[in-house]
């Protein structure tokens, strides 16, 4: 499900995850990512960790069955622990996005320092259409692009292109999908690859400090809101069941 590639220059590592259904993020994958990140933090020459999905799409988001009532209570804290681990990594991180980047996949990308994207990729937070909301994105997205743009994405579930997000400052690089690997190699050589790995580790820690502190406080609070309030509503259960049953939801507004 997860493969780890150390590039020849020993300056970069790629974590590539795979799942036959849109690279969904399962509890098993979360555990594998955490183990891989823990191993890579001890690589002294590493300047960048890249995370990508195998195939056409980055990720369709979290496993819906694992996020249904009765299982979400265990799954959500696991996912949030992964996000906090990503934010605490002493190495710069980048999400390499192709195709669709939805929900929890988008939230993983938001926890990375850089998003490097195919120009035709799309990013969506569809949770509101399931009768819930995106907890991590509620914390991280306003800090990355501002409250207005984040509110629009979170409350409407509207899909936006990589180029639209790049205009808001969220995405560091876009290139046609077939040219993306070459564009990333060039970008890396001209930026992080030219610097001391040790200096980058200190800079990453300093730059991320306010975000790490805020996330450590806010994500647990939003998690409580999600589990204790949102997931106890009729409409949250209805939205998830409707999705699994492939039918329109029947909201009761409670």
Any idea where the domains of the chain sit in the sequence?
Answer: 1-177+196-254
CA–chain centroid gap for 237, Å, is: 24
Kindly report the pTM of this predicted structure.
Answer: 0.97
Closest CA to 132 of 82, 61, 83, 31: 61
User: Which helix H or strand E contains 212, and what residues bound it?
Assistant: helix 197-228
Return the pLDDT at 8. 87
Q: What is the pLDDT along the chain (254 residues), one digit of tens a residue?
A: 899 999 988 999 999 999 999 999 999 999 999 999 999 998 999 999 999 999 999 999 999 999 988 999 999 999 999 999 999 999 999 999 999 999 999 999 999 999 999 999 999 999 999 999 999 999 999 999 999 999 999 999 999 999 999 999 999 999 999 999 999 999 999 999 999 999 999 999 999 999 999 999 999 999 999 999 999 999 999 999 999 999 999 999 99
Look up residue 14 and give its DSSP letter.
Answer: E
Closest CA to 103 of 86, 124, 88, 83: 124
Closest CA to 121 of 75, 177, 196: 177
Q: 50 by DSSP, 3-state: which?
A: strand
CATH topology of domain 1-177+196-254: 2-enoyl-CoA Hydratase; Chain A, domain 1 (3.90.226)
Q: What are the residues whose beta carbons fall under 8 Å from the beta carbon of 243, sequence distance 6 or more?
A: 64, 130, 249
Q: How far apart are CA 53 and CA 19, in angstroms?
A: 9
């Amino acid at each position: 499900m997860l493969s780890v590639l150390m590039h020849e220059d020993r300056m970069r590592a790629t974590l590539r995850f795979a799942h036959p259904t849109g690279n969904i993020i399962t509890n098993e994958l979360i555990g594998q990512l955490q183990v891989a990140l823990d191993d890579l933090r001890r690589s002294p020459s590493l300047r960048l960790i890249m995370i990508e999905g195998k195939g056409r799409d980055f990720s369709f988001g979290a496993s819906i069955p694992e996020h249904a009532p009765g299982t979400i209570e265990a799954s959500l804290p696991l996912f949030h622990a992964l996000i906090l681990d990503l934010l605490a990594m002493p190495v710069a991180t980048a999400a390499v996005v192709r195709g669709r980047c939805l929900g929890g996949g988008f939230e993983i990308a938001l926890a990375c320092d850089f998003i490097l994207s195919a120009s035709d990729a799309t990013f969506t937070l569809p949770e509101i259409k399931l009768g819930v909301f995106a907890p991590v994105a509620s914390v991280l997205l306003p800090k990355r692009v501002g409250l207005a743009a984040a509110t629009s994405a979170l409350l409407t579930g509207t899909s936006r292109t990589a180029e639209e997000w790049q205009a808001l400052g969220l995405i560091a690089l876009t290139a046609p999908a077939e040219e993306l690997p070459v564009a990333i190699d060039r970008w890396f050589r001209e930026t992080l690859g030219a610097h001391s790995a040790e200096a980058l580790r200190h800079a990453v820690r300093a730059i991320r400090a306010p975000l790490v502190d805020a996330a450590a406080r806010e994500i647990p609070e939003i998690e409580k809101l999600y589990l204790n309030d949102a997931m106890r509503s009729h409409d949250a259960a209805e939205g998830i069941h409707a999705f699994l049953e492939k039918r329109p939801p029947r909201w009761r507004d409670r």
